[in-house]
Structure 1
């Protein structure tokens, strides 16, 4: 650049130390352009640099979050996305249900990316305002007041989001779990920050807000106890107990079902006595995802065992004798 372009000109509106103004005046020969050169050239460049830096920072942070989410979906769960309370089923199996793991990771990743976007662009916006000599102190205070007002006005939404976030962090339930929320009982089909979608046994879809859930019963985490009460009427308790124990022992040793038992099944004995006779309870501990299949199979085997031993016929005969009305019994007037 020629030195003459930077040499001060007494006729210019610039000061001796303002080289940018002097350079613009020497190039354009325009006093108003030289006078406003700082705001027409330097300020826009600085604002563009701030925006570009914010975009780059947001992109890098989102890329890091995407990599973490991808690793989590593949089973490599980093420390920041591990649940605060690890379910027993996860400890036993070493992994989580794939769809549940993927959806949980994506939900947490979406929250993190939203927080990054809001944080980065909020800081960039305040820096841009400061470039225009705007006092950002009162603005920050005003935004804080507006945030408090919105928080009071949208309490239910904030409550749902906070409850959903803690639900994800604590891994209270996930896709594929069978949960009981009080009103709705069924299989979790999707999990979000605001609502959870449940399909009950009749196929009805329930959309339950996270903030309205007071208590959760998860039937799919860890192990489950199957309890079956078998009424035997007034037949011999010892005979019926022996038959049931033989049936559950054969069931536990069946190669097709033995892997589903956490502990061997037990026949506890008489659980209840009513006008219809005694009730014998049988319990077993199994994995949570197999409890219903195992329960149905055990009921079938116990029923067949009672029928094969003749106890079922004795129960029916005793019930028929109790319900039969003698022919010579006088009828009520």
Structure 2
């Protein structure tokens, strides 16, 4: 109720109220209205603030409980409705990834709860004071539009980060190609993703600038081994040797722990003026394709040398010190 009155306030009609008593004693409508407002409005404002604080406190505590559990190796309840793409082979990184993801999503939810609860409480308090909310809401809308245009890149980064978290497109430990940079993810925030490339350089990539993500650490990967051969070699004998060496290698440790399926020899993949390229592929655990490729190359090349199968430019003969025919 607005305390500035030119006519007797409605509270003077209520028998036994302080407002009516003051009006009967003074006959002043403004004073009686002010007394009536002070007798009721502060109490209602206090009740609104207490309820808002309690609702916010309970909601935040609930969100915190839902976000716990990642440090104990369990999936936080806040993540259970969402799909998780982290390979279990990550070990401790899975817990760190879950914890970071749960904390980020929980932080967003708590911010939304605080904004909604305090925003409603603020509007209710203004209504109790007697301020017209129409112009304020209109002004807030204009300011919001202006801020949206001025901070559209920040809003874009934030929304992109939220959806990346919800969809679990990538996380700590994943090897990804995000366009501007390629490397291992070290942290994922709501605005910036941090990754480190093979040279040790740390890249900070804004989430809003990521148009596509190539993740090499989800599900499975394929190790591709290309072996160059000369035109004079027996292709059938060379492919049999490559297949035999690769099969023996993947069946023995340590490669057997990373390989999911037997090697698949695709055959001649490329013919160039320099020679012929034979391609072999192996289905492996996510993120282990590069290690398997290096190990297979290290075994296939010496095996071909022992079998007398020359590379495209000939075989090196240590006795002669030159490249042979």
* Cα deviation, residue 279, structure 1: 1.3
1:123 aligns with 2:145: no
TM-score of the pair, normalised by structure 2: 0.83
| Alpha-carbon contact 1:83-1:168 (below 8 Å) kept | no
Deviations 1:268-327 (A, max 9, x none): 2111222222211111010113222222211111123223323358941699456xxxxx
Rounded Cα–Cα distance in structure 1 between residues aligned with 2:142 and 2:33: 40
Q: Which has the larger radius of gyration?
A: 1
Partner of 2:137: 140
| Displacement after TM superposition at 1:100 (Å) | 1.3
> Contact conserved, 1:188 with 1:197, CA < 8 A, in 2?
yes
Equivalent in the alignment of 1:70: 68
Structure 2 counterpart of 1:274, from 272, 290, 309: 272
Shift of 1:113: 0.5
Cα pair distance change 1:44/1:230, threshold 3 Å: same
Within-5 A mapping of 1:165-314: 165-233=162-230, 234-312=232-310
- The Cα shift of 1:108 comes to 0.6
- Are 1:186 and 1:199, in contact at CA under 8 Å, matched by a contact in 2? yes
Give the distance between the partners of 2:21 and 2:54, measured in 1 at CA: 32
Confirm or deny: 8 A CA contact 1:179 1:218 kept in the other structure.
Answer: yes
Is the contact between residue 178 and residue 213 of structure 2 (CA under 8 Å) also seen in structure 1?
yes
How high is the TM-score relative to the length of structure 1? 0.81
CA displacement, residues 24-67 of structure 1 (integer Å, 9 cap, x when unaligned): 97xxxxx9997744333432222111111101100100011111
Query: Which secondary structure does the structure 2 equivalent of 1:175 belong to?
Result: coil
Note the alpha carbon deviations across 1:159-193, whole angstroms, 9 max, x for none. Answer: 11111111111111111111112221111111011
Contact 1:174 1:190 in 2 (8 A): yes
Report if aligned partners of 2:76, 2:98 keep a CA contact under 8 Å in 1.
no
Consecutive unaligned residues of structure 2, counting only runs of 5 or more, are 1-10, 23-27
The answer to whether the Cα contact below 8 Å between 2:86 and 2:171 also exists between their aligned partners in 1 is no
How many Å separate the matches in 2 of 1:280 and 1:15?
A: 99
| Gap runs ≥5 in structure 1 | 1-13, 26-30, 323-333
Q: Contact between 2:176 and 2:216, CA under 8 Å: does it hold in 1?
A: yes
Tell me the matched-pair count.
Answer: 303
Where does residue 59 of structure 1 map in the other structure? Answer: 57
- Superposed displacement of residue 16, structure 1: 6.9
User: How far is 1:253 from its partner?
Assistant: 1.4
Who is 1:330 aligned against? none
Moved more, 108-117 or 254-263: 254-263
* C-alpha contact 2:264 2:281 (8 A) present in aligned 1: yes
| Residue number in structure 2 paired with 1:316 | 315
- Structure in which a larger fraction of residues adopt helix: 1
1:328 is matched with none
Mean CA deviation greater in 111-120 or 196-205: 196-205
